[in-house]
Amino acid sequence: MRTVLDARTSSGYGSRSRGGIHGVLDVETALTAADTAAHLRDRAAAGEKISGPAARRALTAAASTPRFEGRLVKRNFPQQAAAFLARDGIVLYDNPDAFLICAFKHANALCDPEPGATAPRQYNCRAGCGNTVRTDTHAVQIRARAEAIDRQAAHVPAKLARRLRRNADQLRAAADHHAATAQPAEALT
């Protein structure tokens, strides 16, 4: 929904003000991004290794992102949220479908965001993007997903099974790449 509204705003379809639904979405997006930053900090503090071209930038961003314990929202928070989201390159978006955190920097994005968009098109996430960050938890999730796909492949026609196994192999390759390149937070900051 945020992506759709960004597109309409940048194309002149919607209001450029941050009132109404835009303000609500800004607040919710900022709170979610703060949660993502907190999770990254917690995982790094627990000793998880981090990989991806944006790993260093994401850790720096996470360190400066406030926690919003209890989700207390003040009256001027929509404006603060909009300003926070406009800081290109340091807002962290959880992307569980792609098993990664997106440290969204517009110029790097391979998902073709609208000009001026402050959020990625997560449904169009592409491998090899310079905004990618993965933790050990993501790698575990990736391997679990690959195993689930392999189990599924055992019960479908051969042609579909081959495609599923290719997909599983690509996922395992992503997890292997994480294992080979991930570093502890201390080495990245």
Query: What x/- string results for residues 32 through 51 when contact with ligand SF4 is judged by CB under 6 A?
Result: --------------------
What gap in Å lies between CA 17 and CA 93, rounded to an integer? 23
Query: What x/- string results for residues 66 through 95 when contact with ligand SF4 is judged by CB under 6 A?
Result: -----------------------------x
What is the C-alpha end-to-end distance of the chain, expressed in Å? 34
118 sits near ligand SF4 (criterion: CB under 6 A): no
Of 125, 139, 146, 168, the one binding ligand SF4 (CB under 6 A) is 125
- Shortest reach from residue 30's CB to ligand SF4, in Å: 17
Please check whether residue 117 is in contact with residue 14, taking contact to mean a CB–CB distance below 8 angstroms.
no
Angle at 30 between CA 125 and CA 171, to 5 degrees: 25
Number of amino acids touching ligand SF4 (CB under 6 A): 13
Exposure string of 48-85, with b = 16+ CB inside 10 Å and e = fewer, is: bbbbbbbbbbbbebbeebeebeeeeeeeebbeebbebb
Footprint on residues 132-161 left by ligand SF4 (CB under 6 A): 132
Residues at the site binding ligand SF4, with contacts judged by CB under 6 A: 95, 102, 104, 109-111, 120, 122, 125-126, 129, 131-132
